[in-house]
Structure 1
Amino acid sequence: MVFYMLSFTAELENLTNLQPRGGCDDPNYPYYFKVKCENCGEVSQKETCVTMSESVPLPNGKGTVNLVQKCKLCGREGSIQMIPGHGQPLTHELSQHELNTRLMVLDCRGFEPVDFSFGDGWKAESTSGTPFEVDLSGGEFADYDEKGECPVGVTNLRAMFTVVKKQKRWCGTAFV
Structure 2
Amino acid sequence: MVLFALQITAELDNLTDLQPQGGCDDPEFTYLFKLKCQSCGELTQKETAVSLSEAIPLPVGKGTTNLLQKCKFCDREGSVTMIPGRGRPLTQMLSEAGKFAPLMVFECRGYEPVDYVFGGGWKVQSLAGTTFDNVDLSEEEFAEYDEKGECPVMISKPSSTFVVVK
Bin of the TM-score, shorter chain as denominator length: over 0.9
Structure 1 partner of 2:106: 106
Q: Hey, what's the Cα distance between the residues in 1 that align with 2:164 and 2:89?
A: 20
Structure 1 partner of 2:163: 162
Structure 1 residue 61, shift from structure 2 partner? 4.3
Larger fraction in strand: 2
Q: Hey, what's the Cα distance between the residues in 2 that align with 1:132 and 1:9?
A: 18
1:20 aligns with 2:24: no
Moved runs in structure 1, 4+ residues, more than 2 A?
none
Matches within 5 A, 1:108-147: 108-133=108-133, 134-147=135-148
- Scaled by the length of structure 2, what TM-score is found? 0.97
Where structure 2 has 5 or more consecutive residues not aligned to the other structure, the ranges are none
1:43 aligns with 2:39: no
Structure 2 SS opposite 1:93: helix
**RMSD over equivalenced CA pairs, Å:** 0.8
Tell me the alpha carbon deviations over residues 87-117 of structure 1, each in whole angstroms, 9 at most, x when there is no partner: 1011111111111001000000000000001
Give the aligned length. Answer: 165
Q: Hey, what's the Cα distance between the residues in 2 that align with 1:88 and 1:110?
A: 27
Give the AA of the match of 1:149: E
Structure 1 partner of 2:73: 73
Q: Hey, what's the Cα distance between the residues in 2 that align with 1:140 and 1:71?
A: 33
Report % sequence identity: 61
Q: Hey, what's the Cα distance between the residues in 1 that align with 2:115 and 2:160?
A: 8
Q: Hey, what's the Cα distance between the residues in 1 that align with 2:161 and 2:139?
A: 18
Q: Hey, what's the Cα distance between the residues in 2 that align with 1:120 and 1:129?
A: 21
Q: Hey, what's the Cα distance between the residues in 1 that align with 2:143 and 2:58?
A: 42
Where structure 1 has 5 or more consecutive residues not aligned to the other structure, the ranges are 166-176
Give the AA of the match of 2:8: F
